[in-house]
Copies of this chain bind each other. A is one copy, B any other.
Amino acid sequence: MMQHQPIASPESFTTERLCQRMLERHRDVIRVQKDHLAVRKLVKIVTAALDLSSRLGFHAMSLRDLSRESGVSMGGLYSYFDSKTTLLSMILTEVGVTATEVLGQAPADVRADPRRHLDWLIDTHIRLTEVMQPWFVFAFMEAKAFPQPARKMAVDSEEATEKIFAEALRLGAGRGLFQAGNPELTAALIKPLLQDWYVKRAKYRRRGIAIGDYVAAVSAFVSAALGDRPAVQP
């Protein structure tokens, strides 16, 4: 608990840690008091919820399904949320907060160089969504079913990410590194390239494309589009 925590890298976001953060954030709703018990069950519940939702969608998942799959009784579930919709919001919140937090944490020296910053953003985004794949798919697919406040948060989180990209592009264009006539539009086009990795994860797995290949491909694709000449031996 008190141990020193390194700067959060994508890999550090295990389900366990995410559920810990979830517990802290929703202490008012979660009625179980002992942390170690609460986290242990939360992991079971959230894991089952993400799994069931990914198969048929959150709405199609009944709480009886969730109870069976997680091994927590119907009544027990309601010690962790006060409605099915609250569970939805809790998961989404965690995704939004984490994404914004991680992507805003580029080291100063990386941020100073727009070219490196862009590569760092691409790499970090893809690696984070790889580690939290079920979470991100959930947020992406169920976003429309959110209650108003959570929904706005999802949109804001998406826009925040795009802003970070647009800022790096603008800075790079200002220094004559990129041809980015319209940084906002270019950032908007980079986003779906990153999202495809988790939205269509099964496709890339089927084709045997590893995460490193994908990062490299997106990175090359983007920098070529920006007018960066690919690195060649002199």
Contact = CB atoms under 8 A, between A and B. Distances in A.
Interface string A202-217: 0110010100010001
Interface string A37-76: 0000000000000000011110110000000000000000
A13 interface: no
Interface residues of A, number: 39
B196 A217 contact: no
B182 A207 contact: no
A91 to B, nearest CB: 16
Interface stretch (A19-27, A114-122, A221-229): A221-229
B196 A188 contact: yes
Nearest to A214: B185
Interface in A9-36: none
A112 interface: no
A186 interface: yes
A87 interface: no
A217 B225 CA distance: 11
Q: How many copies does the complex hold?
A: 2
A42 B101 CA distance: 47
Contact of A224 (B144, B203, B224): B224
A192 B185 contact: no
Contact of A60 (B59, B141, B185, B220): B59
A184 interface: yes
Interface in A142-160: 142, 144-145
A224 B55 CA distance: 38
A158 to B, nearest CB: 8
Interface of A: 54-57, 59-60, 141-142, 144-145, 179, 182, 184-186, 188-189, 191-193, 195-196, 199-200, 203-204, 207, 209, 213, 217-218, 220-222, 224-227, 230
